[in-house]
Chain A
Amino acid sequence: MINSNENNKDEKKIVLKIFRENTAQKTDSHYDTFNVPYKKWTTVLDALLYVKSYMDPSVAIRYSCRMASCGSCGMKINGIPRLACYTKISELETSTIECEPLPNLPVIRDLVTDFSRFFNHHKNIQPYIQSKDGVDDPDTEKKTFSFYQSPDEVDKYLQFSYCIKCGLCYSACPTVGTDLKFPGPQALAQLYRYYADTRDETKNRLDIVDDRHGIWRCHFAGSCSKVCPKGVDPALGIQLLRSYMLGISKNDKKLAEKNEIQTDEESI
């Protein structure tokens, strides 16, 4: 955080232009401009919090971890969807920084957007490992299993499991911009993540997105992969899914061997 009283030679000033809109009060949208001091390591989130603390406490932002883990501080910074806590002012190399809410998501207030639709798409793809055990038999449901996966098997989905659900890829996707029923790159990449996981036994997982507004509406713009702060390549996940659906790739997934674990509760 920047100390407002600190008189440091390193300290420079940046013009921060912040998008303002209050949908509850139906106010017209406009931009407010602030002159904010910053240092080499100051992030856009730090600058926004400085504005909130010393200039205008009514600026609405959403954040939590400040370390690119929770995915809540996504916003459009100088025209590109980024995490505010992961974007240093110095690396933007401009004298003005424009902060706007993420596109493709409804604005709640200022820089805060509504993620309901995004999370609904995520839920639709059943983002969890499903095992036959525990579905039909209420007794096995209580059992705990360990799974064996080779490093190669883990590699197939590992990068996709780094997703923090920040919605940057979703907001950068031109197809989402024109078709809100399209699941978006995040949900599709997560579908691949579970499809490729050898612990998952879900039948017909691919059918979930095999519809008119589903995976086939991706035009491979690739902007999702460009903006992802966690190095996930959703565009790759989508193309891999398509190759399975077209029969170009064969799903030779061998289900992971599992062993029942004796939990402490059972051994007592």
Chain B
Amino acid sequence: MMERHRMLKESQIMKIHYITGIAAIFVVAVHILMRLIVPFGSSLEYDYIISNYKNIFYVFILESILVLISIHGFNGIRIILLV
């Protein structure tokens, strides 16, 4: 039952799993809100998109969505495949 020689205990992995899941919900919500407050037409304008990518805060949110969902998702797949 008890497994040794593992980098992380299962409880540590699950802590990361829960934290990344909750954080992903938060950043996705911010992302959706930012999309909603700008009219659809202007959100597609070249200048607007460039300015978005120059906004460090927004870039950080977009990247963190990818990182958080990847960690959470891949661990989810690992759990499914374990059985």
A pairs with B: yes
Contact surface of A with B, Cβ cutoff 8 Å: 124, 178-179, 183, 206-214, 216-217, 245-247
- In the complex, which of the residues B2, B18, B82 contacts A207, with contact meaning CB atoms closer than 8 Å? B2
B11 touches A246 (CB 8 A): yes
Residue B1 lies at the interface, judged by CB distance under 8 Å to chain A: yes
**Per-residue contact bits, chain B 1-19, to A (CB 8 Å; 1 contact, 0 not):** 1110000011100110010
Given A124-B1, A211-B1, A214-B1: A179 and B83 within 8 A (CB)? Answer: yes
Interface residues on B, range: 10 to 19
The CA of A210 and the CA of B10, in the complex, are separated in Å by 6
- In the complex, which of the residues B2, B15, B82, B83 contacts A246, with contact meaning CB atoms closer than 8 Å? B15
- In the complex, which of the residues A206, A209, A246, A247 contacts B1, with contact meaning CB atoms closer than 8 Å? A209
**Set of chain B residues within 8 Å of A178, measured between Cβ atoms:** 83
Interface residues of B, dominant DSSP: helix
A-B contact pairs, 7 of them (CB 8 A): A207-B9, A210-B10, A210-B11, A211-B2, A211-B3, A246-B14, A246-B15
Known A-B contacts: A246-B11, A246-B18. Give 7 more (CB < 8 A): A178-B83, A206-B11, A210-B11, A211-B1, A211-B2, A213-B82, A216-B10
B1 touches A216 (CB 8 A): no
The CA of A210 and the CA of B15, in the complex, are separated in Å by 12
